[in-house]
Amino acid sequence: LSLLLLWLSYLSWPALDGRARALRAAMLLLIGVALAQRVFA
């Protein structure tokens, strides 16, 4: 699922403006933190 999200984000990256890129990056960061907490908990 995470790979799918990363792939979709990669595909849609050029079409996004700066604000949308910031939101997408923040969302991916939150997902990464949640996954890290689940793995290392």
**Local structure of residue 17 (DSSP, 8 states):** -
From first to last of the 41 residues of the chain, give the pLDDT tens digit.
678 877 777 777 676 678 888 888 888 899 889 989 999 87
pTM of the model: 0.54
Query: What are the C-alpha distances in Å from 23 to residues 4, 11, 37?
Result: 18, 16, 21
Domains of the chain, residue spans: 2-40
**Amino acid symbol at 13:** W
